[in-house]
Amino acid sequence: MRTFKISFALLSFMLIWGIQSSQAQDYSTAAGLRLGTPLSISIKQFVNESMAIEGYVGTRGSSSYRWTNISGAVLYHEPLLDLSFGNLTYYYGGGGSVFLWRYTNSFFGGSATTFGIQGYGGFDFTLTDVPISITLDWIPTFFIGEGFYTGFRADYGTLGVRYILK
């Protein structure tokens, strides 16, 4: 419960701090897939011109374990390039996840729950004439709990493809 309170306080601070900044972005809502670690279904909603909130549900696994995650992040976008066929921004932010683990090997039978505190850094490319947003990001994660992983992991990231809804 203490981890939840700390994560909630951190996300609240970032939300309040981020509302004060403003830069142009190309869409307000997009939904699609995050391909990578984890493989996820994603929806991203801009709160103002530079800050977005993203939520996603995903999964990852192997022959000995599988986890499902429920994640949320606050992302701040800054423009990099304005091209005739699209716009490129970079983004950064933070968020949290709940990981629900299921083990199937002889060492760890059963299940567990882990919480993750995450950083985000990446690029968002939005096409001008096609309602598609493509992202590439890195998501370093600090795992808290008794899941398959505990501690820091720096090997998470995804290629996102989202359809722009409006």
What does the block give as tokens for 151? 């501690």
pLDDT for residue 133 = 96
In this predicted structure, the answer to whether residue 18 has a pLDDT above a threshold of 80 is: no
Domain ranges of the chain: 2-164
Beta strands 39-46 and 51-61 are antiparallel
What residue type is 83 in one-letter code?
L
Q: How many whole angstroms separate alpha carbon 32 and alpha carbon 16?
A: 27
Its pTM stands at 0.80
pLDDT for residue 148 = 67
Task: Give me the count of residues in the chain.
Answer: 166
Q: What per-residue string of b and e applies to 135-146 under the rule 16 or more CB within 10 Å gives b?
A: bebebbbebbee
In this predicted structure, the answer to whether residue 90 has a pLDDT above a threshold of 60 is: yes
Q: What is the pLDDT of residues 108-150, one digit of tens each?
A: 678 889 999 999 999 999 999 999 999 999 999 999 987 667 8
Q: Which CATH class is domain 2-164?
A: mainly beta
Question: Do the Cβ atoms of 160 and 33 come closer than 8 Å?
Answer: yes
What does the block give as tokens for 116? 């993750």
Average pLDDT on 30-56 reads: 96
